[in-house]
Structures are given as C-alpha cells and as structure tokens.
Chains A and B, each alone.
Chain A
C-alpha cells in the first residue's frame, strides 16, 4: 500500500523472500531423509520433529498467549490414546492419528471453558490436574491395557522400515504444518494482537484486543499440536503407557526448549528443540543426572539469559529471520524536527532495520 505522501508498508523484503524460499527448500529436502538414512536414524529424526512441534506449541501458548501450563502432557496423552481407541474401532493407523488430532482439538476446546477461568499459577496447576484426570481415565480402562499400557499394532501392516518412514513423514508434516499455521497466524492481525498480549496484556485490552477469546484460540491450537505430537510419539515407539505419556516430563522438556531457545520468539523454540535433541543423543543415557542437568540449565537460562539464546540475539542485533513484521518505507516526511525516512526501496542489508533512517 502506498499513501499520498509516498509511504508504504512492506511485509516481504527481497531478503526475506530468498530466506523463506531457502527454508522451504530445506524442509522439502528433509522429506527425503528416510530414503537416505537408515531406519534407526530416521526414527531419531522423527523424535526431533516431535520436539520441534512440542516446543513451538508450548512457546505459542506461554510466549504469545501468556498461558504458562505444566499440564500440556494431557493433550500429548489424549493424542496417543485417541489413536489407540480409533485403531481398536478399526480405523487405519495413520488415519487414526489424524482423527486423534481432531479429537484432541474438541477436548481442548471443552477444557478451555474450565481452565481459562483461572490465571497464572492457578491455571498452570489446573492443567496438571487435567492431565492427571485423563491419566486416571485411561489407567482404569482395561480395553487399552489399563496402567500397564498397550502396543500400537495397527502400523504393523507396513513393516518396520516403511512404518518408520511413514511415521517420519507424518511427524515432519505435523511439525511443518504447525509452524506454518503459527507463522501465518503471527503475520495476521490476530498475530499482532497476540504479540501485544505477550508484551502487556492489559495494555492490549485497552486497545481493543479481546484477551480471553484470543487466549482460547491459542490454547486450542497449541493443545491440538500437542495431540499431534502425542500421536507421533506413539507411532514412533509403538507402545504407550499412561504413566509415561501423561508424564510431566514432556512439559519439562517443552519448558527447557523454549527457555533455552527464546520464549516468545518464532525461531527460538526450533533452536531449543535442536539443542535438546543433541543433548538427548549425547547424555540421554545419563538417567537422573541427565534430567538434573536439563533442569539446572533451564534455571541458569531463566536467571542469566531470560530471553533465551534467540531472544538475546534478536535483542542485540535487532534481527528477525521470519518475516512476521511490518516495515514502513518511503521518502522523508515533511517534518523539520525529525530527519525523515530513507529513500531506499531495496531495504537495508539486514532486515528489519533498527530505524528507517537517521
């Protein structure tokens, strides 16, 4: 759009188009992984996309919606167990996983009417209680193995190698779709409102942002993403047990990834997921010390680098990789006091600029 004064608002710059195209191509390339790597590596990489998905979801919930939950494992478990119930009803395995995501969305929507009445710590703990309620529900259901758990046999028809490849593609598609939805949501008017809520909830409300309904949308969306992660975790391990799938450790991992990567940034949680993935593969056999290390790192980040790695980088260098912002471009405005806008149409070497021009 260009105004009479020659000013215009830009969403995409040449740099961001090139960067986004390269990222898109890289993601397409990742779909080829099962044809290149051994099944064991494919399975590990599936775990990485699940981590990316979970981190992005918890970040959107806490970082943009301001909803700090320690009970998102509720929806991970619902995604996994809904898949089991559906396959028992005769639905094909991967179709069951997709339908389980829909069931998670419905249950998240219903749950939101109870938990979103609460704020802060009350909401966080209520979500943990919700997770426990769902855990108890499946623990007492002998048709899904009760407390001892159950195997997912429906994917057996594809054989181990094809099964791992299909699960990889499913997880990568889910993670990519979630990030794309989040990206387009953040680029929309609703995204601007969400970022405003992130920065100052009551100031956002004073500008007309309907905070509670915005939070409901974020809650349902991110919980649905956790449901997709749960279904993928089940498909990747082919076994589910209430105590493990409804374990608070999933939320602890999400918090770690988001705190280390950068709360309230688009790119930070992806970085956090990569870091956790590397740590898992290096130190994952360390038992309790591994978890102590993760917890201690998260505490140190919260204390000394509260914006996380990516948040600190963006703050220091005023850098955002994903084009979710708005840039004003155009000729100098006719004010004597202020020096005016840059003439450049090309955009600065790195976008966004710290100022239009001084």
Chain B
C-alpha cells in the first residue's frame, strides 16, 4: 500500500475480514503466507512491535481500558506505541483527542462512555501511536449520517497526512466514498479486488454479499 492510500474490505459475516486484520496487526499468526511492512517480513513480529513499527489498529468491539480515563487510554498509545515522552506525548494526546471529538470527556473514565465515544476512543488511541498504516474494524457502525460525514472528513484528513488506511466496514455507501480500492471477501477468500465501482458491480460480489444484505 502506498502512503495515504485507502483500501476497503467488505464481505458477509464470517468471511474472515477481522481475522485478516488480526493477522496484519500480529494478534493472530497466519496459517499460510506472510506479512510485509516497508519491505520487511514482519510475520514473526509481535503485535506490540508491529504497532511500534507503525501498524495501528482499532477493534470491532471497542476495548477501552475501562478503569483509565479517556486521556490515559490515549496516553498509552502515545507512549508505548508512539514512544513519545513528556510534553511531546501530551501534545500528541491532546491533538488526537481534539481530532476525534473526545476533549470534553478527556477526564472521564472509559467505563462510563457510550458506544459512539468508545469507537472514537479506539480511533484516538490508535492514532496516538503515530501509525503509518491504520487498520480500522467497523468504526462506522451505529453512526448517524452527520457522524458518518464527520468520520469521512477525519479519514480524508488522515490520508492527507500520509497515513494508509485498511478499513473493514458494513456501511458500504460510506466506505466507498473513503477508499480507492475495494476488496470483497467470502469464506476466507478474496472474491473481488479493484476500484470500488467495479467491485460493487461484480456478479460474484452481488451474489455473495450485496444480495444477501437485502
């Protein structure tokens, strides 16, 4: 993937989308194949090391550090993954909290957050680590139209900063506006890969995924 590019991944439940993201992020080992990042084989690197290299991720079901405040959640990303210290870490945290609209709840414990804020926190934490590639797992689910627009703006801004995006999403009409390449998976296989418009017209994709949604 080139810097600032964006790939969307769609497919029915159980297609293996999250598993693919886990393999890319180092949360699961691949049963076959390898993962390369900046020309280096990182297949054997741990999840923590991959994050430090610049592969960030969010989780499909948000996994906040519930007993820590929102700021502290983000601070973990900035200091562990981003390896920032002192005021540089604080600055990074405050800027990603502002970007994700979480500043007003910065001092709240994550356990008290609703789903929308939890999803924003997933994104903020991953960004605090300063990723070059960001793996997003269904962060658009449950958003209103206005919130989805805001998310699209954020994604566009991240791309302009040179961050490459891999985004799994069921809300296809939102996803296709953010990505320049779309992959459709089914039963652990890639069944289509190309420009979003072409993939959405693909008969196999309509049969395996889009048709089933109706």
Question: A205-B48, A318-B109 are contacts. A196–B76 as well, Cβ < 8 Å?
Answer: yes
**Interface-lining segment among A93-101, A244-252, A273-281, A336-344:** A336-344
**Interface-lining segment among B81-89, B157-165, B170-178, B199-207:** B81-89
Q: Are A203 and B65 in contact (CB under 8 A)?
A: yes
Q: Once bound together, how far apart are the Cα atoms of A333 and B76, in whole Å?
A: 23
Chain A residue with Cβ nearest B112:
A354
A338 proximity list for chain B (CB < 8 A): 101, 103-104
Q: Tell me how far the C-beta of B156 lies from the nearest C-beta in chain A, rounded to whole angstroms.
A: 18
Q: Once bound together, how far apart are the Cα atoms of A193 and B67, in whole Å?
A: 13
A312-358 at interface with B (beta carbon < 8 Å): 315, 318, 325-328, 333, 335, 337-341, 352-358
The reply on A3 being an interface residue by CB < 8 A is yes
The reply on B187 being an interface residue by CB < 8 A is no
Q: Once bound together, how far apart are the Cα atoms of A318 and B66, in whole Å?
A: 12
A79-118 vs B, CB cutoff 8 Å, 1 = contact: the mask equals 0000000000000000000000000000000000000000
B43 proximity list for chain A (CB < 8 A): none
The reply on B52 being an interface residue by CB < 8 A is yes
Chain A residue with Cβ nearest B69:
A325
B173-196 vs A, CB cutoff 8 Å, 1 = contact: the mask equals 000000000000000000000000
Q: Once bound together, how far apart are the Cα atoms of A340 and B103, in whole Å?
A: 7
Q: Are B79 and A355 in contact (CB under 8 A)?
A: no
Q: Are B106 and A328 in contact (CB under 8 A)?
A: yes
Q: Tell me how far the C-beta of A321 lies from the nearest C-beta in chain B, rounded to whole angstroms.
A: 15
Q: Are B103 and A199 in contact (CB under 8 A)?
A: no
The reply on A189 being an interface residue by CB < 8 A is yes
Chain B residue with Cβ nearest A355:
B108
The reply on A126 being an interface residue by CB < 8 A is no
Q: Are B65 and A208 in contact (CB under 8 A)?
A: no
The reply on A22 being an interface residue by CB < 8 A is no
Q: Are A326 and B51 in contact (CB under 8 A)?
A: no
Chain B residue with Cβ nearest A195:
B68
B73-122 at interface with A (beta carbon < 8 Å): 73, 75-77, 79-83, 85-87, 89-91, 93-95, 97-98, 101, 103-109, 111-112
The reply on B47 being an interface residue by CB < 8 A is yes
Q: Tell me how far the C-beta of A4 lies from the nearest C-beta in chain B, rounded to whole angstroms.
A: 9
Q: Are B80 and A328 in contact (CB under 8 A)?
A: no
Q: Are A328 and B107 in contact (CB under 8 A)?
A: yes
Question: A196-B76, A204-B76, A341-B104 are contacts. A333–B65 as well, Cβ < 8 Å?
Answer: no
Chain B residue with Cβ nearest A202:
B27
Chain B residue with Cβ nearest A199:
B65
Q: Are B77 and A208 in contact (CB under 8 A)?
A: yes
B125 proximity list for chain A (CB < 8 A): 207
Q: Once bound together, how far apart are the Cα atoms of A333 and B101, in whole Å?
A: 10
Q: Once bound together, how far apart are the Cα atoms of A193 and B52, in whole Å?
A: 14
Q: How many residues of A contact B (CB 8 A)?
A: 44
A7 proximity list for chain B (CB < 8 A): 94, 103
Q: Tell me how far the C-beta of B207 lies from the nearest C-beta in chain A, rounded to whole angstroms.
A: 34
The reply on B167 being an interface residue by CB < 8 A is no
Chain B residue with Cβ nearest A351:
B107
The reply on B123 being an interface residue by CB < 8 A is no
Cβ contact of A199, chosen from B68, B80, B87, cutoff 8 A = B68
Chain B residue with Cβ nearest A197:
B65
Q: Once bound together, how far apart are the Cα atoms of A208 and B64, in whole Å?
A: 15
4 further contact pairs, Cβ within 8 A, besides A195-B67, A196-B76, A208-B52: A9-B94, A200-B66, A209-B48, A335-B104
Q: List 24 A-B contacts (CB under 8 A).
A: A9-B90, A9-B94, A192-B76, A199-B66, A203-B65, A204-B65, A204-B76, A204-B80, A205-B27, A206-B47, A207-B51, A208-B48, A208-B81, A208-B83, A209-B48, A209-B80, A325-B72, A327-B107, A333-B98, A333-B104, A337-B101, A338-B103, A340-B103, A341-B103
Residues of chain B at the chain A interface (Cβ within 8 Å): 25, 27, 46-49, 51-52, 57, 59, 63-69, 71-73, 75-77, 79-83, 85-87, 89-91, 93-95, 97-98, 101, 103-109, 111-112, 125-126, 128-129
Residues of chain A at the chain B interface (Cβ within 8 Å): 1, 3, 5, 7, 9, 189, 192-193, 195-196, 198-200, 202-211, 264, 315, 318, 325-328, 333, 335, 337-341, 352-358
